Amino acid sequence: MAFPGEVELREERRAVVATLDSLSDAEFESGTTLCSEWAPRDILAHLMGVDTGLVEYVKAPGRIGQANQAIVDKARSMSRHRLMNRARHWADKPAPLTRVTALFFLGDTAVHHQDILRGLDRTRDVPDACRSAILREGVVLGGRKLLSFRIEPTDGGRAMGRGTVVRGTSEALGLWMTGRAGLEPELEFAD
């Protein structure tokens, strides 16, 4: 039995692995991403840490950033080959808790996939489920913006919030709400 969003999560994880496979060694190790402190390999380590790094989150209760960084730091000593072998397993076999919460983790995975692609000036057709998940992730992480902005997705979905109207794709709105820089040219702001 698949949980809600589980099939899409596996597909997105496989897409992340395919993107990372396509990178040169230099891009993989030190390429620019929208997560300014992390290279693509670091984003992969963070994403895999959701399944494997529970100990780090327990050791740093309430300090998610610290736990994320500890997971990334541990993975920096791994070779690309080893990290990618682990990534293929991660993509195909999500941990039980991740499977149950797949709809939530689909957003995190899709946002970080875009962080890698956009940071390296690459694009892709974002699947509908991922666009919706990116917007949900934006609402979760940047929901305070809904107190000042009314977001109106131009590719479906309902408007939310109050204040200055901001229109754009679900992907662009979600990334903007999570705090990613440089999305403003893709958005229309209206009073």
Q: Does any domain span residue 92?
A: yes
Confidence of residue 119 (pLDDT cuts 50, 70, 90): very high
**Domain for residue 124, yes or no?**
no
Q: What is the mean pLDDT of residues 144-157?
A: 95
pLDDT at 114: 98
Same domain for 52 and 13: yes
Domain membership flag for residue 125: no
Task: Look at residue 52 in the predicted model and tell me its pLDDT.
Answer: 81
**Burial label, 103 (beta-carbon count in 10 A; 0-12, 13-18, 19+):** middle
107 shares its domain with 162: no
Residues 6+ apart with CB under 8 A from 159: 150, 151, 152, 153
pLDDT digits (tens, 9 = 90+) for 61-107: 778 888 888 899 999 999 999 999 999 999 999 999 899 999 999 99
Are 21 and 44 within one domain? yes
Task: Confirm whether 1 is domain-assigned.
Answer: no
Same domain, 41 and 115: yes
CA distance 71 to 137: 21
Look up the domain containing 41 and give its range: 6-119
Q: Which residues contact 52 (CB under 8 A, 6 or more apart)?
A: 71, 90, 95
The number of beta carbons lying within 10 Å of the beta carbon of residue 136 is: 20
Mean pLDDT, residues 3-8 taken together = 95
How many angstroms separate the Cα of 43 from the Cα of each of 8, 48, 62, 89, 165? 19, 9, 20, 16, 32
Q: What is the pLDDT of residue 1?
A: 81
Which pLDDT score, from 0 to 100, does residue 36 have?
87
pLDDT of residue 60: 76
Shared domain check, 182 and 90: no
How many domains are there within the chain?
2
Same structural domain, 115 and 135: no
pLDDT band at 51 (very low <50, low <70, confident <90, very high): confident
The β-bridge partners of 151 are 160, 166
Same domain, 17 and 95: yes
The one-letter code for the residue type at 114 is Q
Q: 83 and 11 in one domain?
A: yes
